[in-house]
Structure 1
């Protein structure tokens, strides 16, 4: 039985598909058009009024600031008008914690977060407290899947990743010998930029032009070969990260894989082998909770609420023009010394204090007040 009463989601795939990627302004407009009706529908389906609630949780980052503002403004309005506690949620923590909604995953645990914008291997020490073992040096695996889907001329609905996975099932994953990223670097970081380039060159050489029935087999072979390398890269890094994690936290019992790419069946199979080989249990959310969804934000909000990690907003906050959004918000600044090379994507992220630092500071204040 699900620990939630309702799960309402609005998809924007059809809006962005013609453009080959997310268009921020269109995404903002779609958020604004759907926000009020979606919240109302969720309340009706759950059979509650806003005043019946204790708190409202909302993603404040990382992400596109235009879209984050729409959700944050609505959440602040609800909290201020109905006297609710306001819980700010980190998008990647929501992915990491939602596995605990359907399985008894205790802290600490190792977590592989794989999505369109993020590739992280972290130890989850507790709610809001993480240490980084590895992250992407350039592109995330989900972005690589989407790019390859476009190069192969695949339908991006419901996602590029699902389209590549389906086509790859028809192909020979040994036909194209794409190089394994970072094989000579014994750390837990990731890289997908080179693999994307290799796939593009293979398509230009072997299947140029539009996708047709005549070149479907070669495109399937390219998809399968890409997927073999992309997922083996995740598998190898996760195996090393598990060894590092057990050195730091010997009580770890679970590996959690979460994020949109976690719905990939082959990835789950590979990671099942990793976990079994070292005596750990692999846990992943149900596929519908791997992609972005409201349930994961609500669950993370409930976990943070239980620790007192919430804010009280004055009634005037409902009309505030300024809202706190954190488009570049690191999960943690605590990094294993063996993966010290700083990813390019993180060199620009010195804008917001990390979630881990903020959580530890807040818990310290709470402890001092008791």
Structure 2
């Protein structure tokens, strides 16, 4: 009962912490295995827990892809006040909210823990303090309910979420762009991935957040409750001269699919400092060219992402890794909510013979539904579903974890010369 007391701020968790309820734990393993067979005619129901960073999410999804319940507790406004995510604060807030989030998700689905077939939880990669809360609580639910446990790789979940709402055959190309990642990979199946490129330094969402803070966009009322990426995109749409600031193309001589955003970040910071110095701006005052700068840096980041993605497409085409009729690009992750980027990638896909699929924006940011769906994919394929209690208790979290096998050197050796297609009509 120690774990129960550690998390629960309410009287019960779906009646499973009442005296006598834990006697179910003494059921024999053979009986449990018989109960967990895949012979049930009804749809299996998976509960997913997401705490990799600063959002506490719980989603409940069945094997038909129906979202039965979902709750997210965002820490965005708290961390906005601190100018960035503080791991200790994030971890404490997850601990405070996780019971209520999971309980409310079950209530919204009109289900109890006994109705759930398995617990899926993000265990890598992410902030260790945040991941530990989700993993501990997920294992706790697994234990008191005698449920199988499914550890989830956060990036795999992002890569597969679109399959919940749209029919997408394996294999396909995925672009994951967020506050922590910029990554291109081939998704071979549920648990087989080939990474073609990843970021060498900053992630796109990270630089958008940092530049938005440096520009003091939160001091403009219409942007005050937006994330950095949302504020940058919205501000860019108001630009009167998006070509005023020059961002030179980066890594044009590197024939690979690697990303870098540090140069865009540093150049943006220099432009801001220069205008502040020239115009004697300090305090909460915002530079007059804020909208034009946002437009220029957004265009720079988008072109860089598109060029690397185009090279990944040409690598796939040249190597005939995906049949022509199945060539699909799936975009996911928090930055995939950026409509300007989506429009640019649609143009690239059209030119290169790929179907473009964007994960629904509401599922692009971290959420419990994507974890539950990855649990569904694994449950259906019977991959990574842990039923042994001792093995479940041994599951730990990992701060860093690569996505599948690295093909980065293979792409580099292919030496594919690539010139970005014309992004016609992008600024219309």
- Bigger shift: 282-291 or 307-316? 307-316
2:387 aligned partner: 312
Partner SS state of residue 5, structure 1: strand
Q: CA deviation at 1:339?
A: 4.6
- 1:6 is paired with a residue whose SS is strand
Deviates more, 1:304-313 or 1:70-79: 304-313
1:221 aligned partner: 292
Structure 2 CA distance, aligned partners of 1:2 and 1:45? 17
Map Cα deviations across residues 224-251 of structure 1 (whole Å, 9 max, x no partner): 1000100110011111111112325132
1:92 has 2:155 as partner? yes
CA distance in 2, matches of 1:62, 1:94: 11
**Residues 363 and 369, structure 2, Cα contact 8 Å, conserved in 1:** yes
**Paired position in structure 1 for 2:327:** 253
Matches of 2:115 and 2:150 in 1, distance apart?
16
Determine helix, strand or coil for the equivalent of 2:187. strand
Bigger CA radius of gyration: 2
Q: Helix, strand or coil for the counterpart of 1:56?
A: strand
Match of 1:5 in 2: 68
Unaligned runs of 5+ in 2: 1-63, 219-223, 414-428
Match of 1:51 among 109, 114, 137: 114
Counterpart position of 1:234:
305
Distance in 1 (CA, whole Å) between partners of 2:126 and 2:257 is 24
Match for residue 265 of structure 1 among 322, 332, 339? 339
Structure 1 CA distance, aligned partners of 2:349 and 2:114?
44
Following the alignment from structure 1 to structure 2, what is the Cα–Cα distance between the partners of residues 228 and 211? 26
1:80–1:315 contact (8 Å) kept in structure 2 = no
Q: Deviations over 1:317-336 (max 9, x none)?
A: 6xx6x751111111123314
Q: Specify the alignment match of 1:173 in structure 2.
A: 242
Q: After TM superposition, give the deviation of residue 253 of structure 1 in Å.
A: 2.2
CA contact 1:55–1:79 (8 Å) conserved in 2: yes
Give CA-to-partner distance per residue, 1:101-139, whole Å, 9 cap, x none.
Answer: 111111100000001111100000111111111111111
Q: Which whole-Å CA distance do the structure 2 matches of 1:279 and 1:126 have between them?
A: 22
Give the aligned partner of residue 18 of structure 2: none
TM-score, structure 1 as length reference: 0.87
Question: Superposition pairs for residues 189-204 of structure 1, below 5 Å?
Answer: 189-204=258-273
CA shift for structure 1 position 147: 1.0
Distance 1:6 1:307, change over 3 A: same
1:249-289 C-alpha deviation (Å, 9 max, x unpaired)? 13242100100000000000000011111221110111111
1:95–1:290 Cα contact (<8 Å) kept: yes
Contact 1:80 1:313 in 2 (8 A): no
The answer on whether the counterparts of 2:139 and 2:149 sit within 8 Å (CA) in structure 1 is: yes
Which secondary structure does the structure 2 equivalent of 1:227 belong to?
A: helix
Could you give the per-residue CA deviations for residues 117-169 of structure 1, whole angstroms, max 9, x where no partner exists?
A: 11100000111111111111111111111111111111263310000111111
Aligned to 1:158: 226
Deviations 1:59-112, CA, capped at 9 Å, x for gaps: 001001101011011111111111211111110111111011111111100000
Q: 2:105 aligns to what?
A: 42
The unaligned stretches of length 5 or more in structure 1 are 342-370
Equivalent residue for 2:354? 280
Determine if the alignment matches structure 1 residue 243 to structure 2 residue 317.
no
Rounded Cα–Cα distance in structure 2 between residues aligned with 1:250 and 1:296: 25
Aligned to 1:134: 197
Q: Secondary structure at the match of 1:328?
A: coil
Count of residue pairs brought into register by the alignment: 336
Distance in 2, matches of 1:129 and 1:154, equals 41
- Relative to structure 1, is the Cα distance of residues 173 and 42 closer, same or farther in structure 2, using a 3 angstrom cutoff? same
> Are the aligned partners of 1:189 and 1:339 in contact in 2 as well (CA < 8 Å)?
no
Distance 1:160 1:12, change over 3 A: same
How big is the alpha-carbon RMSD for the aligned residues of Structure 1 and Structure 2? 1.9
Within the candidate set 383, 394, 397, 1:325 is matched to 397
Contact 1:178 1:195 in 2 (8 A): yes
**8 A contact 2:204–2:261 mirrored in 1:** yes
Secondary structure at the aligned position of 2:406 is classed as coil
Structure 1 runs of 4+ off > 4 angstroms? 338-341
Distance 2:207 2:68 in 1: 35
The answer to whether structure 1 residue 18 and structure 2 residue 18 are counterparts is no
